[in-house]
Structure formats: structure tokens, C-alpha cells
Amino acid sequence: MREFLRGAALLGRGFAYWRRRPGLMALGLVPAAIVGALFLAGLITLGAFLPALTEAMTPFADGWPGLWATVVRVTVGTAVFAAALVLVAVSFTALTLVVGDPFYERIWRAVEADAGTPVTESPYGFWRSVADGLWLIARGIGIAVVATLIALIPAVGGILSTVFAVACTGWLLADELTSRALIARGLSPRDRRALMRRHRGRMLGFGVATQLCFLVPLGAVVTMPAAVAGATLLGRETAAAPSA
């Protein structure tokens, strides 16, 4: 639990850069606001058509008593919307990092410089960012599918699905957001995975805290620059920590 809280605290240190570097952090709002507006429009549209969508997905319930048909359709609708939120969380991060790569690179460099001697970086590049983003979305789709299936479990499905989705999405966010700091230190994908496993609690704490902030209205837009800053600190700490 201590490592989990330590990871969450790193997001708070990322937010502190709003006070230290307000102009630089404000630049990170631009791509986040653009992508966020697109996804918000999509969620509003989904919400508007959700009743009709759930009815189309559950034709077998047409002849059921009204109460049971309503329970089934509310459960299915909740599962669909929860899956959409998972996809939005990972897709928002992936697309925002690609669209705003020049802005977030400046934030990353500033945090590296403030935290100590900047690393001799390995090349990251635009296309590598795109590839990482697509891989993040693909894994997010897998989580969304599993979360939807879990949500269909009677009584406890909603709670279990929420916990599963937040934890797994948090892990993916931590992986994606720390990638630049870790790649700059010459870590291969295999080394990054091993490092994340060694610091599982800290990674989860940071990722879950970020994911929960994303769920607050307009939270994703304000949080994104702070998440980039906090992830840079997270990458520095975990890469510098001695191996177990």
C-alpha cells in the first residue's frame, strides 16, 4: 500500500508543475482539450442512443415481464457505457500524446532538467509514438471487452467490472505515460515490462490516480499535462531504483 500511495503522490507532484511552470503546462491543455471535446461529443451521442441500442442488443427480453426486461437492459446499458469509458480513457491518452507530442516533449524535458542532469536520450520519434498509441488502444479494447462481460454478472458485476477496469486501465496509462522517460534511458520493451513488474504498486498507484482524475468532468484535460510531468518523475525514480 505504501508503494501504491507513493505512486499516487507522484501525480500530485506533477500537478505542482502548474504552479512552477504554468505557461509550459498550459501548452499541454491544447491537444488535451481538442481530443477531449471529440470524445465528449462521442459519449454524449452514445448516451442519447443508449436506450435504443440496449433494446436492439436484447431482443430476447421483449416478451419478458417489464421489471426483468428493465433490469437486463439497464445491466447491458451500464456495461456498454462502462466499456466506452475504458476505451475513452486509453484512446484519449494515446491520441493526445500523439497529437500533442511537441508540447509534451517540452514538459518532459523541463521536468528532466528540474529533477537533475537530463539523460542522454535514445530516439523516441513520432512514428514510435503512433505505434505505442495503437498498441495502447488495442489493449484497451481487450480490457473493455472483459469489463463488459464482468459487468453482466448479476448483483456484483457492476462493482467488479469497475474495479477491474480502473486497475487495468491505470496500469496501461502508467505504461504509456512513462514510456518516453524509460525509452530515453535506453530501456527496451522487455526491460520496461520487467521494471514495471518490480515496481507494480507504484505504477498502479500512479495509473489509478490518473484514471480517477480522468473521470472527473474536464479532469482529463487538466490532468494530462500533470500526468506527463508526474510520469517523468516516476520513470526517473523506478529506473534509478536498485533491482530487487
User: What digits encode the pLDDT tens for the residues 95-137?
Assistant: 888 888 888 888 988 888 887 766 555 555 666 667 777 777 7
Grid coordinates in use for 231? 510520469
Give a yes or no: residue 37 inside a domain: yes
The predicted structure's pLDDT at residue 209: 93
Alpha-carbon distance of 133 to 139, in angstroms, equals 10
Count of domains for the chain: 1
The pLDDT value given to residue 113: 86
* Distance from the Cα of residue 21 to its chain's centroid: 23
Low-confidence ranges of the chain (pLDDT < 50): 244
Per the domain annotation, does 52 fall within a domain?
no
129 DSSP assignment: H
- Residue 10 counted as domain residue: yes
Asked whether residue 55 is assigned to any structural domain, the reply reads: no
Q: Are 93 and 71 in contact (CB under 8 A)?
A: no
Cα angle: 49, vertex 77, 159; to 5 degrees? 145
Q: Which of 183, 189, 188, 190 is nearest to 121 (CA)?
A: 183
pLDDT of amino acid 119: 59
- Count the Cβ atoms, other than its own, within 10 Å of residue 197: 9
Give domain status of residue 35, yes or no: yes
Instruction: Give the per-residue pLDDT at 244.
Output: 44
Domain limits for position 215: 2-42+79-240
| pTM of the full structure | 0.78
